[in-house]
């Protein structure tokens, strides 16, 4: 877990389907969380259960151009 990438994003409910599709195309695990609640980003039901008023944390190990592009567009400056 030493090479785990962590990014902060804001996700709107209308972006969930696209986010999950992008995560499913990754050959590595992608998690999304807020506070202590962590879900598999490849689970649409899990992602829909998140509080979209919160800043979400996406963590993963690996590289996928489409995921990087999506996260960059949804990035939240802390």
Q: Is residue 53 part of a domain?
A: yes
pLDDT at 76: 77
User: What's the CATH code of the domain at 12?
Assistant: 3.30.1340.10
Q: How many domains does the chain have?
A: 1
Stated as kind and residue range, the H or E segment containing 71 is helix 65-73
How far apart CA 11 and CA 50 sit, in angstroms, is 10
- Record the tokens describing residue 29, joined without a space: 């695990």
Instruction: Identify the band that residue 2 occupies on the pLDDT scale cut at 50, 70 and 90.
Output: low
Q: Is residue 78 part of a domain?
A: no
Residue-wise pLDDT tens digits, 42-68 = 999 999 999 999 999 999 999 999 999
Residue-wise pLDDT tens digits, 11-34 = 999 999 999 999 999 999 999 999
Name the residue range of residue 39's domain.
Answer: 5-73
């Amino acid at each position: 877990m030493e090479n785990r990438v962590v990014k902060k994003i804001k996700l709107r409910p209308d972006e969930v389907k696209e986010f999950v599709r992008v995560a499913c195309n990754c050959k590595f695990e992608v998690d999304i969380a807020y506070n202590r609640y962590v879900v598999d980003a490849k689970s649409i039901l899990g992602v829909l259960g998140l509080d979209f008023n919160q800043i979400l944390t996406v963590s993963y190990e690996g590289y996928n151009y489409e995921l990087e592009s999506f996260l960059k567009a949804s990035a939240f400056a802390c």
